[in-house]
Amino acid sequence: MPVEQFGIATPQEGFIDITATVREIVRRSNIQQGICQVFVPHTTAGVTINENADPDVVTDMLAALGEMVPNLRYRHGEGNSPAHVKSSLVGCSITVPVVKNSLFLGTWQGIYFCEFDGPRRRQVCVQVLGS
């Protein structure tokens, strides 16, 4: 299955729920059993799975990352070192099982694109593998 890409316009910093778009890509793939790989090809952004029922979780995640990654005297000259660190902490890819042509997520789980250095125009790569 080829890699499918879609674009996202992001805020300065935030989590964007991309679950519906990824679900649609899986549905169109006609893969009944397999995996869905979601990859973010950016060094100041990430992708994660977390609760999508209560928006306070996203707020708390951003606050916690902000506390964990303060503005230190970084050597990187662009001034966005905290975004690079947050991206590494969160990660740039996730894998979700595909069962019966559908993402196998928990009841409260959603897939989030994580922006740490926006606003920007970003890309998300999705590949569904299986049979």
pTM over 0.85: yes
Rounded to the nearest integer, the mean pLDDT of the chain is: 96
Is 78 or 102 the better-scoring residue by pLDDT? 102
Say how many domains are in the chain: 1
Query: What is the average pLDDT across 76-84?
Result: 89
Q: In what helix (H) or strand (E) does residue 6 lie, and over which residues does it extend?
A: strand 4-9
Look-up of token digits 């590949």: 127
Question: In terms of residue numbers, what domain contains 58?
Answer: 4-130
Confidence at residue 79, expressed as pLDDT on a 0 to 100 scale = 82
| DSSP secondary structure, 11-62, as one string | -SSEEEE-HHHHHHHHHHHT-SEEEEEEE---TTEEEEEEE-S-THHHHHHH
Q: What is the per-residue pLDDT across 16-68, written as a single tens digit (0 to 9) for each?
A: 999 999 999 999 999 999 999 999 999 999 999 999 999 999 999 999 999 99
pLDDT band for 74, please (50, 70, 90 cuts).
confident
Give the number of other CB atoms < 10 A from CB of residue 3.
10
pLDDT band for 72, please (50, 70, 90 cuts).
confident
Q: Are strands 121-130 and 109-115 parallel, antiparallel or unpaired?
A: unpaired
Is residue 71 over pLDDT 90? no
Query: What is the average pLDDT across 122-129?
Result: 98
Is 68 or 77 the better-scoring residue by pLDDT? 68
CATH of residue 115: 2.60.120.460
Residues 6+ apart with CB under 8 A from 27: 101, 102
Cα 97 → chain centroid? 16
